[in-house]
């Protein structure tokens, strides 16, 4: 008389297939979260650009920020003057590089703003070493256009002009 049921081999193969599918789903979910955080960073920089343009309309120049103020440009120039309500904070938290702002050569009509993207294959990342080297080694790795070792991301830089 034959008994109904599954053999041990059939159960192991089924569990293996389920494990592979679960692993693929988790990987895709993590990639989606990385891309969502990068979209948030780009959106934050877009909002900061708008706030800087308002600042320029009222003051005639962009804020001149010294090398020790690159982390506080939002609170010192935009929030205090009413161009932004709250500081933009990186979605990854304090362990990730903050948004950076600087004036190359203290030019009041030019600026660069940088955020670190997690997706190193992002098509909008900055690849021009002439722009990347503007940020010193504490902020990025210069001509490699990569962020510091703690974040292991790539630079995304917006500039004017």
CA distance 143 to 161: 20
User: 33: alpha, beta or left, given left = phi > 0 and alpha = psi -120 to 50?
Assistant: alpha
**Lookup: tokens for 110:** 């030019």
Parallel, antiparallel, or unpaired: how do β-strands 154-160 and 100-102 relate?
unpaired
Parallel, antiparallel, or unpaired: how do β-strands 111-117 and 154-160 relate?
antiparallel
What residue ranges of the chain have pLDDT lower than 50?
Answer: 137, 140
CA distance 62 to 104: 12
- Provide the pLDDT for residue 140: 47
Three-state DSSP class for residue 146? strand
- Provide the pLDDT for residue 10: 92
CA distance 62 to 59: 8
The secondary element (H helix, E strand) that includes residue 112 is: strand 111-117
The pTM of this model reads: 0.78
Q: Name the residue with tokens 């703690």.
A: 150
């Amino acid at each position: 008389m034959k008994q109904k049921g599954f053999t041990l081999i059939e159960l192991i193969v089924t569990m293996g297939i389920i494990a592979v599918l679960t692993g693929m789903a988790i990987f895709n979910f993590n990639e989606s979260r990385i891309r969502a955080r990068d979209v948030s960073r780009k959106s934050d920089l877009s909002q900061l650009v708008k706030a800087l343009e308002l600042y320029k309309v009222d003051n005639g120049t962009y804020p001149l920020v010294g090398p020790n103020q690159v982390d506080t440009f939002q609170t010192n120039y935009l929030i205090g003057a009413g161009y932004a309500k709250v500081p933009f904070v990186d979605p990854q938290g304090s362990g990730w590089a903050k948004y950076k702002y600087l004036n190359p050569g203290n030019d009041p009509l030019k600026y660069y703003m940088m955020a670190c993207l997690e997706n190193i294959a992002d098509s909008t990342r900055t690849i021009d070493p002439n722009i990347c080297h503007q940020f010193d080694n504490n902020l990025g790795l210069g001509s490699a256009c990569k962020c510091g070792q703690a974040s292991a991301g790539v630079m995304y830089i917006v500039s004017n002009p």
